[in-house]
Structure 1
Amino acid sequence: MSALAQDVLWSPLADPAVLALAPSPDFLSFEPSTALAAPAVYRDSPQGSHAVHDSGIATQILLLPGGKASRPLAALIPLDSQTLGRVEALVRFWRAYHKRPVPPDTRMTTQQRRRLRLMIRTADGRANGASYRDIATAFYGTERITSNPWKTSALRDTVISLVKGGAAMIGGGYLQLLRHRRRS
């Protein structure tokens, strides 16, 4: 099976948006909890059974030992620095499951997504032998590149920064994309 056709399954430590689900205690709710429609494929791990549940948005779930999709479940949300991100992921999943409008994932802004795409494109260009100037020409056009001296050009600095950022992402920085940035 192609890597592009397979689901990526993350550890809940790496991705706080992984929903950890456990058997629901009967005393927590007055109304009976609805069982999930079972995902087609589970992958077992020491943590439990991982699956991707698609109810309008694809959400990775982790059924903790003893949990079954056919039985009532409860979400387990640790109270740590990633709690708000986990709650947001649960709200997105719950709203999609109940066919309600789903709020966007706020881990990345539109500007961050655009910059990420540029970083990956520049890293790909460099890996294929393109110079900084070649990359800048592809992004901004020949006219803009030749209008200023290249060595002191702000576009040159931008491309160099994008290449460094792309290399950092490839080197493992992409894991930070899974988490909300905390304000200091």
Structure 2
Amino acid sequence: MFWSADADTSAVLLTQSPITLPTAGNLSSDLRDPAARSDDQGEHMLLAAGNQTIRLVRLAGVPPGTPLAALVPLDIDGFDRIEAIDRLLRGLLGRTVPNDRRLTQQQKRRHRFMLQATDGRIDGATYRDIAGVIFGVDRVASEPWKTSALRDATSALVKDGLAMIAGGYRALLRHRRRA
């Protein structure tokens, strides 16, 4: 599944290189994906770089085989696009590609718990049962359930998981912003 380029800010947008730029040394010939898929946005490709995958979108109307340039819209997502372009260039040049930093390990763990808690709740599990699976039965039993912080945490996990299922998951496609 490919997300729209406006939703996935880690997608590198490729357009035809301006004629004012030299074409010698353009790395666009290395950008081939036999499994590429086309839609009204353009051709969506995946490039394996080290232990990760970089998503590319050759915009509609750009002829195959022409030298390419990366496009960075001048908006709040520009920094995300620049980071994606940096990862692409490093991959094409055989350098170490840094990991995509959209989610920290703690955020990944919390998202996993959110989905696990929501899945349990949809299947009819009580909040206490869910808390026992996520936090451990002994820890849940160690304090009164009605006033337990684990009860509140479990309720929040289910609530946030339902919000994610209702469309909030799209926020995962965007990079974190520093305040």
* Structure 2 length-normalised TM: 0.90
Count of residue pairs brought into register by the alignment: 176
* 1:38-117 equivalent positions in 2, closer than 5 A: 38-56=32-50, 57-64=52-59, 65-68=61-64, 70-117=65-112
Note the alpha carbon deviations across 1:18-59, whole angstroms, 9 max, x for none: 111112224324842122241012222222112222233212
Equivalent residue letter for 1:66: V
27-36 vs 165-174, greater mean Cα deviation: 27-36
Shift of 1:181: 2.9
Structure 1: tracts of 5 or more residues without a match: 1-7
Note the alpha carbon deviations across 1:149-183, whole angstroms, 9 max, x for none: 00100111111111111111101111111112334
- CA distance, structure 2, for counterparts of residue 13 and residue 105 of structure 1: 17
Query: Which of 141, 155, 170 pairs up with 1:160?
Result: 155
- CA distance, structure 1, for counterparts of residue 104 and residue 175 of structure 2: 11
- CA distance, structure 1, for counterparts of residue 16 and residue 177 of structure 2: 31
What corresponds to 1:36 in structure 2?
30
* Structure 1 length-normalised TM: 0.88
Query: Which of 106, 112, 119 pairs up with 2:114?
Result: 119
- CA distance, structure 2, for counterparts of residue 123 and residue 96 of structure 1: 38
The structure 1 segments of at least 4 consecutive aligned residues displaced by more than 4 Å after TM superposition are: none
Equivalent residue letter for 2:78: T
- CA distance, structure 1, for counterparts of residue 75 and residue 82 of structure 2: 11
What corresponds to 2:128 in structure 1?
133
CA contact (8 A) 2:49 2:97 kept: no
Query: Which of 141, 144, 149 pairs up with 1:146?
Result: 141
What corresponds to 2:174 in structure 1?
179
Structure 2: tracts of 5 or more residues without a match: none
RMSD: 1.7
